[in-house]
């Protein structure tokens, strides 16, 4: 698409599973909780939780385990899971950044584009701090900033608004099907991170940032029919 590269002025990144591999820690903590409640759940089921808020994730897990809880109990167990998760991520280091991600962020910065983070996690800032990535983001939207969960595009729209850009001027990077839907619904160009069969709505799917240059990504996107 002619002029696509000039049209793009910002990049919005999801965090868990896109920049840092924290999804495995969420899984460990949720599995521990399920086991304490007397059932198990698989890593495949956990895939469905990517992008969901803490409470929405718990509700889905309780549904799988056929467990009823009052609202107060849900709050209690969400806190228990979060304490385990926070403990698991307490030792995150810059080396936990996913392969190629740091180099890619640097290239976007050098190209003069703005960058935002859009995550449903309330621990997003702490993860960015431990991995030394906080200075890369002009705007950070986390689990405290939003009221609606993906596939509602609220989180991306707030990020674009914070950057002072229109959705058509931003590329969103997402690993979760729900997040990809949210980005497309918001009018963004969406790059899915993962396997194409799980992310059919994305404008382009890449396995990760390893060996990817920003210019190469723009070239690939220019060949797709986007916004
Ligand atoms: C991200 C993750 C989810 C997680 C959610 C809330 O979207 O993909 O797995 O449940 O954030 O995270 P939090 O750290 O606030 O519980």
> 142 alpha carbon to ligand 1 midpoint, in Å?
9
pLDDT of 227 above 60:
no
Q: Which residues pair with 206 in a beta bridge?
A: 193
pLDDT of 165 above 70:
yes
pLDDT of 4: 79
Query: 203-215, pLDDT tens digit by residue?
Result: 999 999 999 999 9
Pocket test for ligand 1, best of 18, 53, 181 (most atoms within 8 A of CB): 53
Residue 220 CB neighbour total at 10 angstroms: 14
- Is the CA virtual torsion 98, 1, 114, 201 positive or negative? negative
Closest CA to 78 of 130, 109, 37: 37
pLDDT of 17 above 50:
yes
pLDDT of 225 above 60:
no
Rounded distance between C-alpha atoms, residue 41 and residue 169, angstroms: 40
Closest CA to 96 of 37, 171, 16, 38: 16
pLDDT of 27 above 60:
yes
pLDDT of 178 above 70:
yes
pLDDT of 223: 72
Closest ligand 1 atom, CA of 81?
16
Whole-model pTM? 0.94
pLDDT of 77: 97
Mean pLDDT of the chain: 94
User: What domains can be seen in the chain, in order of their start residue?
Assistant: 4-21+94-222 (3.40.50.1000), 23-89 (1.10.150.240)
Task: Say yes or no: CB of residue 53 within 6 Å of ligand 1.
Answer: yes
Closest ligand 1 atom, CA of 176?
8
pLDDT of 168 above 60:
yes
Q: What is the mean pLDDT of residues 85-102?
A: 95
Query: 42-57, pLDDT tens digit by residue?
Result: 999 998 998 888 999 9
Residue at token pair 């240059």: 213
Rounded distance between C-alpha atoms, residue 15 and residue 124, angstroms: 7
> 34 alpha carbon to ligand 1 midpoint, in Å?
16
Task: Say yes or no: CB of residue 26 within 6 Å of ligand 1.
Answer: yes
pLDDT of 224: 64
* Cβ proximity of 156 and 188 under 8 Å: yes
pLDDT interval class at 1 (50, 70, 90) = very low
């Amino acid at each position: 698409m002619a002029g696509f590269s000039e049209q793009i002025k910002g990049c919005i990144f999801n965090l868990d599973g896109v920049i840092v591999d924290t999804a495995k820690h969420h899984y460990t903590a949720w599995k521990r909780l399920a086991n304490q409640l007397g059932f198990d759940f698989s890593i495949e089921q956990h895939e469905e939780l990517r992008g969901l808020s803490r409470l929405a994730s718990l509700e889905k897990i309780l549904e799988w385990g056929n467990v009823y809880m009052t609202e107060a109990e849900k709050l209690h167990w969400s806190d228990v899971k979060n304490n385990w998760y926070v403990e698991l991520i307490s030792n995150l280091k810059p080396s936990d950044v996913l392969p190629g991600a740091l180099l890619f962020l640097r290239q976007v910065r050098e190209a003069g584009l703005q960058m935002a983070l859009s995550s449903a996690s309330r621990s997003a800032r702490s993860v960015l701090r431990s991995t030394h990535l906080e200075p890369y983001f002009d705007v950070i939207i986390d689990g405290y900033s939003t009221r609606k969960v993906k596939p509602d595009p609220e989180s991306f729209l707030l990020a674009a608004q914070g950057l002072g850009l229109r959705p058509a001027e931003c590329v969103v990077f997402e690993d979760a099907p729900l997040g990809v839907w949210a980005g497309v619904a918001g009018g963004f160009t969406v790059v899915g991170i993962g396997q194409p069969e799980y992310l059919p709505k994305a404008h382009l799917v890449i396995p990760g940032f390893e060996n990817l240059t920003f210019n190469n990504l723009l070239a690939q996107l220019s060949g797709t029919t986007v916004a």
